[in-house]
Amino acid sequence: MSYKSEHERSIKNPDDFWGEQAKLIHWEKPFTRVLNYSNPPFATWFEGGLTNICYNAVDRHLLDRAEQAALIAVSTETNQEKVYSYQELYDEVNCMAAILKAHGIQKGDRVLIYMPMIAQACFAMLACARIGAIHTVVFGGFASHSLASRIDDAKPKMIVTAEAGSRGGKAIPYKPLLDEAISLSQYKPAKVLIVNRGLAAFTPVVGRDLDYALERAQHLHDLVPIEWVDATHPSYILYTSGTTGKPKGVQRDTGGYAVALASTMNHIFCCKPGETMFCTSDIGWVVGHSYIIYAPLLHGMATVLYEGTPLRPDAGIWWSLVEKYKISVMFSAPTAIRVLKKHDPRFLTQYDLSSLHTFFLAGEPLDEPTASWIHGAINKPIVDNYWQTETGWPILAIQRGVEALPSKFGSPGVPSFGYNMKLLDDASGAELGPNQKGVIAIEGPLPPGCMQTIWGDDKRFISTYWETIPGRMIYSTFDWGIKDQDGYFFILGRTDDVINVAGHRLGTREIEESISSHPNVSEVAVVGIEDKLKGQSAIAFVIPRDATNVAQLEAECMKTVDNQLGAIARPSRVYVITALPKTRSGKIVRRSLQAVAEGRDPGDISTMEDQTVLTQIKTVMEQNLVS
């Protein structure tokens, strides 16, 4: 059996392939049909089946692994660590579910979770799934205006929050942000459940706000029966980062999502039940949903829920956790590795990493210098992968469960099972051959676990994702890439990051790759801005690895691009800065950089940190303009 033959089977005979994968989870009632694609582009998976993702993640493991670690909650912000066994996780999830039900939450109701990376956030997500409620997680610290738009769209009956989070040892009050968001929103949630961590003073709203500690004491020993739901029942709504105007709520199903995640643990992540997985993302993003909460628990593993930075108390914290908890698999973002690259390499060698067998990276394109550096530093396989909030699990990866395919630095890999990938000309819709640049697209149906639709807006789902390629109804990833002769894809950047400079089409990702090869460049972001003469021009924002002569670094970066890509790709300006605006999952928010560079409103700013960073960048640009 080879990757190629299995991938072909997953495309040509999805009923057969995904029917096999569905055996990885429990079905209370068997499905009657694997795939119904009678109404493209809407795919219905495991029609007629009844299941529950909380049962699959928690309850079914009690017979064989009740005392095994399930959730390892670590906070270097508050210096607290607690390990929950599967039995203890079951008890806490039941308690949280009882609290929700006591306050009127039922199947189909929405619950918004606005939380730091603490155990109660996990309890809340699983509790919603247990009773058939639909959770929508917004990462803690999200700006009030953006939070309000999500409240209005999802209309949650309850919000679960904490009075504060912490970042770099500094408390970040959530309650004032939430109160302001509710005052701004037209829809008013009935109840707000507050976990009081003792980090910030706050004033409860009488009649609305609930104290989690008091509620927990009342329901500590309650048991809540599983609400068996249709495989097609929505499990959650997750709003895509970087939205402007009305937010896009990605709606995910239950059965297809559980099957897809369980499948990836065998085919991509190659984990074993009883092992430990550490994903450094945030539950506010899809990586946190899929590979902090659901997939490891579905697979009978322990999962690390980490509140903190990769540098607190020092740059060795992640590796100390690998040693302490015998972590087998890590999943992080290239940005985090570039941060570690600035620090003393001894932190990478002073801990026992023998338990770690694979290090996965995703969130933004992984450049070869970063991949090579971390591989050399920890001497572990570095596996890139590529996916989106919309898909819920990797589109491209090295499929290792069936056949041990080799990695290629710079490529996230080959199509995962179920993804019928195409490389298309964005103007004509024609399919392209090896080493030609085009839009990466997916022929329908989307495999299990991908978005069902945009919450409350089927028409927008079709027009946004399926009608952008001329003459074809096909899902656009909005990413620009190439495919080599072996079928490996290389990501060049978003389609809106393809700029036209004097008639030449350039991917900003290509320019970033070139600049990042400079030995004194730690991070770089390139955006295209309007240019009255050339149409568009590229500008680069560079974070140096060491203190440097700014003018010299700017000149050297331009020369590097000249030598590697030619003068046409040379940025019109290189700005040396200290920080870049990023999502919690580590993606650089290039649209905000472009807006600031063009003097426009940066739009949906997620945190005050990003606002500060953008203000600093604007100041640097203005100073350069004066000079």
Specify the 3-state DSSP secondary structure of 488: coil
pLDDT at site 537:
84
Which homologous superfamily does the CATH classification assign to the domain defined by 504-626? ANL, C-terminal domain (3.30.300.30)
Distance CA 447, CA 256 (A): 8
The CA-atom distances, in angstroms, between 44 and each of 12, 68, 130, 472, 495 are 17, 35, 22, 21, 29
Q: Quote the Cα angle for 236-55-41, to 5°.
A: 40
The gap from C-alpha 440 to its chain's centroid, in whole angstroms, comes to 19
Write down the pLDDT at residue 6. Answer: 96
In the chain, domain spans: 3-476, 504-626
Q: Residue 31 has which token pair? A: 């499905």
- How is residue 449 written in tokens? 């676990």
- Contact yes or no for 170/204 (Cβ under 8 A): no
Contact 504, 522 (CB under 8 A): no
Q: How far apart are CA 237 and CA 281, in angstroms?
A: 18
Report the pLDDT value the prediction gives residue 241, as an integer from 0 to 100: 54
The pLDDT of residue 504: 61
Q: Got the DSSP string for 295-360?
A: HHHHTT-EEEEEES-TTSS-TTHHHHHHHHHT--EEEE-HHHHHHHTTS-GGGGTSS--TT--EEE
Same fold yes or no, 3-476 and 504-626: no
Please tell me the predicted confidence (pLDDT) of residue 609.
62
Per-10-residue mean pLDDT of the chain, 627 residues long, equals 94 98 98 98 98 98 98 97 98 98 98 98 98 95 86 98 94 95 97 98 97 98 98 96 67 98 97 97 93 98 96 94 98 88 87 96 81 91 93 94 86 96 93 93 98 97 94 93 95 72 69 88 88 78 86 91 80 90 72 83 60 82 67
Evaluate whether 436 touches 490 at the Cβ level (below 8 Å). no
Looking at residue 622, its pLDDT comes to 78
Residue 448: asked if its preceding bond is cis (omega within 30°), the reply is no
Q: Is 82 helix (H, G, I), strand (E, B) or coil?
A: strand
- The Cα 339–Cα 348 span in angstroms is 13
pLDDT for the residue numbered 142: 79
Whole-number pLDDT of residue 468: 92
Q: Which CATH class is domain 3-476?
A: alpha beta
Instruction: Return d(Cα 9, Cα 249) in angstroms, integer.
Output: 32
The tokens for 79 are 């210096």
Q: Are 602 and 615 in contact (CB under 8 A)?
A: no
What is the Cα–Cα distance from 560 to 548, expressed in whole angstroms? 17
